[in-house]
Amino acid sequence: MSSIEQKSANAIRFLSMDAVQKANSGHPGAPMGMAEMAYALWHNHLSHNPSNPNFFNRDRFILSNGHASMLLYSLLHLTGYDVSIDDLKNFRQLHSKTAGHPEHGYIAGIETTTGPLGQGISNAVGFALAEKMLAAQFNKDDLAIVDHHTYAFLGDGCMMEGVSHEACSLAGTLKLNKLIALYDDNEISIDGNVTGWFTDNTKQRFEAYQWNVIGPIDGHDIDAVSQAIADAKAQTEKPTLIICKTKIGKGSVSKEGSEATHGSPLGHDEIAAIREKMGWTAGAFEVPEDVASHWDAKTKGLATEQNWAALFAQYESKYPQLAKEFLRRMHGDLPQNFDEIIKAAMTDVVAKGESIATRVASKNALDALASHLPEIVGGSADLTPSNNTFFKASVDLNITTGEGNYVHYGVREFGMSAIMNGLALHGGFIPYGATFLVFSDYARNAIRMSALMEQKVIYVMTHDSIGLGEDGPTHQPVEHVESLRLIPNLRVWRPADTVETMAAWAAGLTSSKNPTLLALSRQKLPFLTRDEATVADINKGGYVLKENDNAKVTLIATGSEVELAMKVAATRDDVRVVSMPCVEIFRENDKAYKNGVLGDAPVLAIEAGTTRGWYEFADDVVGINTFGASAPAEQLFVEFGFTVDNVNQHIEQLIQK
C-alpha cells in the first residue's frame, strides 16, 4: 500500500469527520472505519463514469448501512460527481443534497435510498438479479452489452435485520455471482459491542446460503481488500461476501473501536488530535492536490464508457431491433402502441362482462397487458396459485441462465418487496409481486420505500377482506387498506369488478412516479354495467356509478362493497352510488369534479375495513373496527353488518339528521 493510497483513504476519513462536526450531527465512526474498503473498491475496481452517472453498464454501488452517508458523499466528491465542498459543508441541512442518509434522486450517483437497515443489501439483490436477467435477454456470444457488478457495503445492523436473511438466502439460490458484498465487521452497534446480542457465525451462515465467503480479512489493508474483490469478481457461480474486520472510528485518539463514534460528532479537540496523530496538515474540508489528482475517476470513467459505446455500436449494427428495445427499456419508455393495447383490452373486458373474483380479473389483465411488455418481471411470495400472478406469457426464472420473467420468492414478503425495488431502480424492468393483503404488514417498509423513491413497482395483494372467509382474523385484513392509504405517493386500488381491475393495472403500468398496490378479492364479484364515459371516469379514482337527481344520500363504496351499494340502490329511489377504487387519485382531481362526484346530499361510505379515513368524505361509515372471525364469507358479511337492511338503517339515520 503506497502513501498516496493511504492518503486518499484518509481524505474520505477527514471529509466525513469534518462534515459531521460542522453539522453537529451524524455518524463519523463507520466512514472512518470503512475508508480503506471504500478506496480499494472505488479506485481499483468500480466501473463508473462521474461525468455520466447514468451510464447503462456502470457497476452499481449500494451503501446498505446508510447512516455512513458521509462515506458515500465523500467518495462522490472525490471522484468528480456533482457534489461540491459546499454540499459537504451543508450536510444534513434543510434542502441539502447531502441528506442524513443517502436519498435516491437527490444526487446522481446514489443508486437507492438507504437508512432502514437491511434494505440496501436486499435492493442490491434486485440490482444483481436485473443484471443477470438483462444479460440473458440481450447479450450475444460475441457482444455482451450487459456486464457489470453490484457492490454493497453493509454492517452488523444490516446483518441483524430479518430482511437481509430473506434476500441473501434467495441471492445464493439464484446464483447471483455478480453480487459482491463487503461486510464492515466492526462488532459495534449503538448499544455497544454486539457480542452481547449478535453471535451468529456469519461466515457459516452465508456459506449455508450458498455464497462464496472470503475472509475475515483486515479491512484496513487496501491491498488485501482489493485482492479479495478481484477474487470475488472471478467467481462464476455464487454471490460473494467479503468479511472485513475493521475498527469503528479508525484513527480516533480516544474513541477508536467504541460506540462513542457511532452517532455523534467527535468534537473539535478530538479531530485536531486525529489530524496530529495521522499527520494530516490540510484544513477542514480541504483535499490535498495530490489526492485530488490521484483519484482521476473522470478520465477512467470516460474511457470505460467510450469502450462500452464502441461495443454497443457494433451491437446496434448487428442487432438493430434488440438495440432499440434495450434503449427503450433502459429509458423506461413503454411501447409506442401501449395506449391502443390498453384501449383494446378494456373494450374486451367490457364486452365479456364477466362476474369473477378480482384476483382472477387481475390475471386476465396481466394476460392482456403484460404479454406486450417484455420488461415485466413477476413473482409471488409462495402464493402463485392464490394470487393468480402467473400469466400466459410467464416463464419461470432459470437460475442458471437468467432466462425467464417469473420469480418464485418463497415465503419472503419483505425480501421480495425490497428486491423489487432493486429491480425497478436498476432499470429495464417493471416488477410486480404478490402476497395476501394481510401480509403487507411484513412488506410495509419496502412498500414505503417504493413510494419514497417514486418507483414503478406493482404490489398484487389478494384476499382483501373478511370475504376470504374461514381462515379467520389472522388472515382477514381489516386495517390494512386504510393504513396503506396513509403512505404518501402510494396508489392503493380496491377494484369492484373486471373493468376497474383492468383500469387499475393500466394505471400502475403507465404511472411514472407512483408505486401501485392492488387489493383484490378472493370471492366472485358481479360485473357492473357502465356507459363509455363512465368507464373513462374510473381513471379519476372515484366516479358516479349510479346517478339520481333526487338523491337524499350518496353511497361511496369500494371493492366488494360496491355490489352491496348497488343492491341498496335497487331497493329505494333516493340514493346515488359512487365507486371510489383509488382514493389517492380521486384527491388529485380539481374541486369541481370532486364536488360533482360527492354531490350535495349526506354521504355514507361502505367498506369492509376500518372506518376512520372515510370521514374525509363521508358523514357516516359502515365498516369494521374490530378483527374478523372464522366462518364462511357470506355469514361474515351478515355478522358484521354488510347487509341491505343495515345500510338502509344508516341511510335513514342520515336523512333524519
Binding residue per annotation — 522?
Answer: yes
Does the annotation place 95 within a ligand binding site? no
Looking at the fold, whether 571 and 492 belong to one and the same domain comes out as no
Residue that terminates a domain, selected from 273, 301, 329: 301
Distances (CA, A) of 297 to 13, 51, 97, 309, 426: 19, 9, 21, 18, 22
Domain of 121 in residue numbering reads as: 4-301
Confidence at 317, pLDDT banded by 50, 70, 90: very high
**What is the structure's pLDDT at 657?**
84
Question: Cell numbers at residue 150, please?
Answer: 453490484
**Span 231-260, pLDDT tens digits:** 999 999 999 999 999 999 999 999 999 999
Beta bridge partners of 349: none
278 and 348 assigned to the same domain:
no
**Cβ within 8 Å of residue 631, ≥6 positions away:** 469, 470, 639
Tens of pLDDT, residue by residue over 454-509, are 999 999 999 999 999 999 999 999 999 999 999 999 999 999 999 999 999 999 99
Q: What is the mean pLDDT of residues 435-453?
A: 98
Is 499 within 8 Å of 528 (Cβ atoms)? yes
pLDDT at 1 over 60: no
Q: What is the pLDDT of residues 144-177, one digit of tens each?
A: 999 999 999 999 999 999 999 999 999 999 999 9
The answer on whether 27 is annotated among ligand-binding residues is yes
H helical segments located in 139-161: 156-160
Residue 327 lies in a domain: no
Residue 564 assigned to a binding site: no
Looking up cell 450475444 gives 140
Using a pLDDT cut of 90, give the percent of the chain over it.
Answer: 99
Q: Tell me if 186 is assigned to a ligand binding site.
A: yes
pLDDT digits (tens, 9 = 90+) for 73-111: 999 999 999 999 999 999 999 999 999 999 999 999 999
| Residue 633 shares a structural domain with residue 509 | no
> Across-strand partners of 577?
546, 555
Report the DSSP pairing between strands 212-218 and 603-606: unpaired
Q: Which residues pair with 519 in a beta bridge?
A: 461
433's grid cell: 409481486
Evaluate whether residue 534 is within a structural domain: no
CA distance 358 to 518: 10
558, 617 contact by CB (below 8 A):
no
Tell me: the pLDDT tens digits for 212-228?
A: 999 999 999 999 999 99
Q: How confident is the model at residue 569 (pLDDT cuts 50, 70, 90)?
A: very high
Report the distance separating Cα 27 and Cα 467, nearest Å: 48
Could you tell me if 269 and 377 lie in one domain?
A: no
Angle, vertex CA 247, rays to CA 242 and CA 250, nearest 5: 120
Is 77 annotated as belonging to a binding site? no
**Catalytic amino acids?**
413
In a domain? residue 600: yes
3-class DSSP assignment, residue 647: helix
Q: Cα dist. 13→23, 32, 35, 89, 424 in Å?
A: 16, 5, 6, 15, 32
- CA 396 to centroid of chain Cα atoms: 22
Helices 440-452 and 119-138 sit at what angle, rounded to 10 degrees? 70
Residue 343 lies in a domain: yes
Contact 418, 123 (CB under 8 A): yes
CATH code, domain carrying 622: 3.40.50.920
Other Cβ atoms less than 10 A from the Cβ of 264: the count is 16
Q: Are residues 566 and 434 in the same domain?
A: no
Q: Mind listing the pLDDT tens digit for each residue in 607-641?
A: 999 999 999 999 999 999 999 999 999 999 999 99
HSE at residue 274, side-chain half, CA atoms within 13 A, is 28
CATH number at 195 reads 3.40.50.970
Contacts of 513 (CB under 8 A, 6+ apart): 454, 456, 489
How is residue 484 annotated by DSSP?
Answer: H
CA atoms of 8 and 92, how far apart (whole Å)? 24
| Alpha carbon distance 330, 41 (integer Å) | 26
Asked, for residue 580, whether it belongs to a domain, the answer is yes
Residues composing the chain: 657
Residue 543 pLDDT more than 80?
Answer: yes
Same-domain pairing of 165 and 284: yes
Q: Is 156 annotated as a binding residue?
A: yes
Point out the domain boundary residue: 275, 301, 327. Answer: 301
Verify that 501 and 559 share a domain, yes or no. Answer: no
Domain count of the chain?
3
Residue 326 has pLDDT above 90, yes or no: yes
Statement to judge: residues 409 and 272 lie in one domain = no
Task: Please give the sequence-ordered ranges of beta strands (E in DSSP) within 253-292, or none if there are none.
Answer: none
Q: pLDDT of 336-357, one tens digit each?
A: 999 999 999 999 999 999 999 9
HSE (side-chain half, CA atoms, 13 Å) at 186: 31
Residue 277 CB neighbours (<10 A): 11
With CA atoms as reference, report the closest residue to 393 among 421, 364, 414, 419.
364
502 & 553 share domain: no
The secondary structure of residue 335, as a DSSP letter, is P
574 is annotated as contributing to ligand binding:
no
Owner of C-alpha cell 408505486: 515
* Domain membership flag for residue 306: no
Structure letter (DSSP) for residue 376: E
Domain end position, chosen among 519, 550, 575 = 519
User: CA-CA distance, 180 to 236, in Å (whole number)?
Assistant: 12
Contact between 271 and 17 (Cβ < 8 Å): yes
Considering the domain architecture, whether residues 362 and 511 belong to the same structural domain is answered as yes
Are the C-beta atoms of 490 and 450 separated by less than 8 Å? Answer: yes
Is 13 annotated as belonging to a binding site? no
CB atoms within 10 A of CB 640: 20
62 shares its domain with 205: yes
On whether residue 435 sits in a domain, the answer given is: yes
Sequence letter at residue 264: S
115 annotated to bind ligand: yes
The amino acid at residue 641 is G
Residues 289-307, mean pLDDT to the nearest whole number: 95
- pLDDT over 60 at 544, yes or no: yes
Asked if the bond preceding 515 is cis, omega within 30° of 0, the reply is no
Contact 182, 206 (CB under 8 A): no
471 is in an annotated binding site: yes
Calpha distance 608→464 (Å, rounded)? 9
If asked whether residues 227 and 112 sit together in one domain, one would say yes
In a domain, 533, yes or no: no
